[in-house]
Amino acid sequence: MKWNLLFGSKTHDMDSIHTELSACLKLRFKAGEGLYKGGDYYSLDMETGEYVLIQNNRELEDELAEEAFPDVPLLIYVTGTSDPDVWKDRIVNQLAIGEFLRQKE
């Protein structure tokens, strides 16, 4: 079973989240820019089939990417994971760069 996870950060900026996750995973994220990703973002396609995206919650047209979390400025999406507990532990406990917001199948 594959899961899609959402984390958010109120305490870290995008570059520090990117730096911490890159060091932890020992992988390089791709920097990008997109109107629907709130401007600058970082993405990572992993060999495991998992995909990680770090982006702003507020899109350039001043709409929220995640309306259920208006007070969370930065979002971390992890999609296609078969082990959500590893990601929850990594982001929330080990790195302490974000809080767990949602899990969907």
Which stretch of DSSP H or E encloses residue 17? helix 14-25
Residues 16-48: tens digit of each pLDDT: 999 999 999 999 999 998 877 778 999 999 999
Q: 3-state SS of the chain: helix, strand, coil percent to 5?
A: 25, 40, 35
Residues 42-56: tens digit of each pLDDT: 999 999 999 999 999
pTM of model > 0.85: yes
Strands 74-81 and 51-56: antiparallel
Strands 30-34 and 3-9: unpaired
Residues 52-87: tens digit of each pLDDT: 999 999 876 778 999 999 999 999 999 999 999 999
Alpha-helical (H) ranges within 1-105 are 14-25, 84-88
Tokens for 94? 């080990």
